[in-house]
Amino acid sequence: MSDTPNGSASASEHPFPLLSTIDDPTDLRLLPSSDLKQLASELRGFLIESVSRTGGHLAAGLGVVELSIGLHYVFDTPHDRIIWDVGHQAYPHKILTGRRERMARMRQQGGLSGFPKRTESPYDTFGVGHSSTSISAALGMAIAAKQKGEQRQIIAVIGDGALSAGMAFEALNHGGPLDPDVLIILNDNEMSISPPVGAISSHLARLLSGGLYTKMREGSKTALRGMPQLRELVGRWEEHVKGMVMPSTLFEELGFNYIGPVDGHDMDAVVATLRNMKRMPGPRLLHLITQKGHGYEPAEHAPTAYHGVTPFDLKTGAVPKQGGRKSYTQLFGDWLCERAEADARLLAITPAMREGSGMVRFSERFPERYFDVGIAEQHAVTLAAGMACEAMKPVVAIYSTFLQRGYDQLVHDVCLQGLDVTFAVDRAGLVGADGPTHAGAFDYSYTRPLPHIVIMAPADEHECWWMLETAYAHDGPTMVRYPRGSGPGVTVDKLGGALLPIGKAEIRREGQEVALLAFGSRVAAAEAVGERLNATVVNMRFVKPLDDLLILEMAERHRLLVTVEENAVAGGAGSAVSELLAEQGVLVRCLHLGLPDRCQEQASHEQQLAACGLDDAGIEEAVRAELRDLGLEQTRLKGASAG
């Protein structure tokens, strides 16, 4: 058995002697409570060492070490359900639930997912990746348990950032009056809801969650049921007392019995409060104050930088600088600042992704024109629509997978009204280690049917810059869709470039028999295959509107049209090409290459492309197979082998 991230060390010299005995929560629950502080120290140390080797999400997990131990120590998991919101914070949970040895392959092909995943473990009761879903899921599980007559505890752990999303409040608003047996744990790691917690408030939390107070509270409801005026007076007095010594009674108004705030790094207080709240009936909310990155000094000082990291030096915390080409995200950040300098109408919006979307420099240089709306994608889109109504020029920087959350607003508030909003859509296509929850696999498919929108996909860095310029200059909704990471390394020519004619593609290479119609990130791969097969290669540039005339010309001059895209085949750019050909009554063999109808699990981006047949080799193999089926002679193709 291997107990360290590298799978070495004997029990006698084990650096984590207590943690090494915990193979699942049943082992944890055999420990005396006096051992839990040591276990927390070892768990934190193991987490830091493990992530330093593999990379991944670190700071959030460091903040919930004590909570993770407390939950599995107090509750009968997996019979009792724990739902982790977002999932960045779930690494300690994974280590405690039988996956310690597999942490060495975190976020790698065939290894652990970076997020809770139902097919990975019975302890992962709800799959996540997007935020603010935990309370709704917990409420659904509680209702189902009640319907089936099952006695189980349902616990949702939500961070204060995730609580900024409307969906969380929708669930709270619905859940309170239903009086479900649900425990919501608010992991407040930014101290954004209440001031720092001290000994008095921790003592009060223990008191209010204790049996005496609970019995008095529930007993008074029964005793005063027939005296509504007196019951109302007592209720007001209780709210007044609690309001004097703790945060707002918002959660009480929604029907949840609020307890806290509690120091989330006080192991004894966490366990004692969880034990008390386990015995309390109905909807409850526990407010924990935690520190993101707690216990690792570099992460404490820079929690955002250590939210998601590449492998780093364990002793110093130094993260190797990523060399090489500038990423599309960085290029967008440069463009945003330059365009803002030239046009005072530009307003930039992000749903809590300032760093990820390359907007740090913009936020510092133009703070009055920068709007971080929190995890509220729906609001971000309609906010932009309102700005556009007043002749401003909003730019919404958003990940492809997160734009899905604002789809109704994209349809109804922007596209149906034809408003001038520019969407800079990052992380389009496969995203490597973050896996299927963060893959931008569907944006061609879900935006293509919308009226008025122009959809662009750059083949390289230079084209991305000028597509952003074209999108911004266009009077209507536009979307520039670019992948994670860097492009092929083409230098941006800011002086020699020009706005692109809307809906016009470009021929990159002339060939015979086969025309490769490539979109965005797959243009470079198509060019490599085109050289080997003597095929025509077209950089399509626009998904909507398509270059209809050029496509029809390609169909007339070639025996086979091959569309290549890093988007789902279903409803994607290839589908648009086939729709055009069918509408025009053109009969030509078509092969659509894109993401298959399955979730692409975490791996490196290159491994994912290969698995989908979208790397050079996969594209070439698929085209050759189609040519053999057509009966075309391989000798007519440059570089082709016989048979």
Bind-site residues for Mg(2+) = 160, 189
What six digits make up the tokens of 107? 């976020």
Q: How far apart are CA 290 and CA 270, in angstroms?
A: 11
Identify which of 236, 264, 263, 233 has the alpha carbon closest to the alpha carbon of residue 252: 236
CB 539 within 8 A of CB 518: yes
Q: How far apart are CA 603 and CA 319, in angstroms?
A: 21
**Contacting residues for 42 by C-beta, under 8 A, at least 6 apart:** 16, 17, 18, 19
Strand partners, 593: 564
3-state class of 315 per DSSP?
coil
Cis peptide before 180 (omega within 30 of 0): no
What six digits make up the tokens of 126? 């709800």
CB 622 within 8 A of CB 593: yes
State yes or no: is 118 an active-site residue.
no
Q: How far apart are CA 194 and CA 201, in angstroms?
A: 11
260 Rama sector, left if φ>0, alpha if ψ -120 to 50, beta otherwise: left
Distance set, CA 576 to CA 94, 529, 572, 579 (Å): 43, 23, 7, 5
Strand partners, 396: 349, 423
- φ and ψ at 607, to 5 degrees? -65, -40
Q: Which of 284, 405, 448, 522 is catalytic?
A: 405
Q: Enumerate the known binding-site residues for thiamine diphosphate.
A: 88, 129-131, 161-162, 189, 296, 377
Cis peptide before 261 (omega within 30 of 0): yes
Q: Which of 377, 469, 513, 626 is catalytic?
A: 377
Q: Which of 99, 152, 206, 292 is catalytic?
A: 292
Q: Residue 326: exposed, middle, or buried by beta-carbon count in 10 A (0-12, 13-18, 19+)? A: middle
Angle at 90 between CA 86 and CA 96, to 5 degrees: 160
Q: How far apart are CA 297 and CA 320, in angstroms?
A: 18
Cis peptide before 78 (omega within 30 of 0): yes
Neighbour count for residue 524 (Cβ, 10 Å): 19
CB 477 within 8 A of CB 452: yes
Q: Enumerate the known binding-site residues.
A: 88, 129-131, 160-162, 189, 296, 377
Distance set, CA 305 to CA 232, 289, 310, 334 (Å): 49, 20, 10, 20
CB-hemisphere CA count at 13 Å for 458? 34
State yes or no: is 377 an active-site residue.
yes
CB-hemisphere CA count at 13 Å for 586? 23
Amino acid letter for position 182: V
3-state class of 439 per DSSP?
coil
3-state class of 277 per DSSP?
helix
3-state class of 424 per DSSP?
strand
CB 97 within 8 A of CB 26: no
DSSP string for 240-259: HHHHHHSS-SHHHHTT-EEE
Helix and strand numbers, DSSP H then E, in the chain: 25, 19
- φ and ψ at 456, to 5 degrees? -125, 150
Identify which of 490, 441, 442 has the alpha carbon closest to the alpha carbon of residue 463: 490
Active-site residue numbers?
292, 377, 405
